[in-house]
């Protein structure tokens, strides 16, 4: 089942310890949660903003709560989970820095994945096209994109350094395949970080 997961989710699924307690923030219809539950005996909880996704997740037996990462994380207790996961949601948050603070407060560790806005295809699109990039990973137009806080891998690295957040692992993906950390800010479409405070 892990094979059918989106590549960034597959990386997260491979690195979550068996039997762990996990909060998946922006869990969609619960694909990752279901994989973690079924294959690693994980006690997974989810938070998702879209009601249709929540209904699908609950209908597959997952404990998912409809809510907004920007407002509803405050109610979760400190260190209530082994991992807090934020996949492809950071760039949609109104206050990504505060969401990350909550992540590191709620989870012993946090997984964060996001699309890299400094990928060469994005750069080319802006440099030569002079238009906001529309790529397979960022398919929306400027006016209807939910991605309101674009971030690059180097931005994120600088951010965690400045906040003294420990990076326990990082993975970079190009076309769904691993790519090296060295040129990641140019070559990777996707990044996954494992963090702790």
Partner 1 sequence: MAASVSTQSLGHSLGDDQRFGLSRHVVLPGPLRLDGGGLLSPVEIGYETYGALNADGSNAILICHALTGDQHVASPHPRTGKPGWWTRLVGEGKPIDPARHFIICSNVIGSCMGSSGPATIDPSTAEPWAMRFPVITIRDMVRAQAMLLDHLGVGQLKAVVGGSMGGMQALSWAATFPERVRACVMVASTARHSAQNIAFHEVGRQAIMADPKWRSGAYYEANDPPAAGLAVARMAAHITYLSEAGLTEKFGRRLQARPDRPDGAKSFGFDADFQVESYLRHQGLSFVDRFDANSYLYITRALDYFDLAEEHGGLLANAFRGTRTRFCIVSFDTDWLYPTSESRAVVQALNAAGAAASFVELSSPYGHDAFLLEAPEMNRVIDGFLRAEP
DSSP labels for 28-67?
A: TTSHHHHHHHHHH--EEEEEES-HHHHHHHHHTT-EEEE-
CA-wise closest residue to 179 among 87, 112, 109, 116: 116
Residue choice 51, 130, 136, 139 for contact with partner 1 (CB under 8 A): 51
Dihedral in degrees, nearest 10, Cα atoms 93, 98, 99, 103: 170
Stretch that binds partner 1, among 9-17, 50-58, 94-102, 172-180 (CB under 8 A): 50-58
Cβ of residue 33: shortest distance to partner 1, in angstroms?
11
- Residue 20 contacts partner 1 per CB under 8 A: no
Q: List, in order, residues 6 or more apart from 143 with CB less than 8 Å away.
A: none
Angle of helix 7-15 relative to helix 31-40, nearest 10 degrees, comes to: 30
Stretch that binds partner 1, among 4-12, 72-80, 95-103, 186-194 (CB under 8 A): 72-80
Contacts of the segment 173-177: beta carbons below 8 A, 24+ positions apart: 173/7, 173/8, 173/11, 176/7, 177/7
- Residue 59 contacts partner 1 per CB under 8 A: yes
Stretch that binds partner 1, among 62-70, 114-122, 150-158, 171-179 (CB under 8 A): 62-70
Cβ of residue 62: shortest distance to partner 1, in angstroms?
7
Residue choice 3, 4, 18, 75 for contact with partner 1 (CB under 8 A): 75
Stretch that binds partner 1, among 69-77, 85-93, 131-139, 140-148 (CB under 8 A): 69-77
Binding site for partner 1 (CB under 8 A): 43, 45, 51, 54-55, 57-67, 72, 75-77, 80
């Amino acid at each position: 089942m892990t094979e059918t997961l989106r590549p960034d989710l597959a990386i997260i699924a491979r690195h979550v310890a068996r039997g762990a307690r996990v909060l998946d923030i922006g869990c969609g219809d619960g694909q990752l949660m279901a994989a973690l539950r079924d294959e690693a005996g994980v006690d997974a909880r989810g938070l998702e903003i879209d009601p249709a996704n929540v209904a699908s997740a609950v209908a597959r037996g997952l404990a998912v709560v409809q809510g907004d990462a920007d407002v509803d994380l405050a109610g979760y207790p400190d260190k209530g989970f082994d991992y807090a996961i934020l996949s492809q949601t950071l760039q949609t948050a109104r206050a990504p820095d505060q969401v990350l603070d909550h992540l590191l407060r709620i989870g012993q560790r946090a997984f964060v994945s996001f699309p890299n806005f400094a990928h060469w295809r994005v750069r080319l699109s802006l440099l030569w096209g002079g238009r906001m990039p529309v790529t397979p990973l960022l398919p929306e137009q400027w006016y209807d994109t939910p991605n309101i806080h674009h971030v690059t891998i180097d931005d994120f690295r600088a951010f965690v350094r400045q906040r003294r957040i420990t990076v326990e692992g990082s993975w970079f993906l190009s076309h769904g395949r691993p790519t090296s950390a060295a040129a990641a800010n140019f070559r990777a479409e996707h990044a996954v970080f494992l963090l702790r405070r």
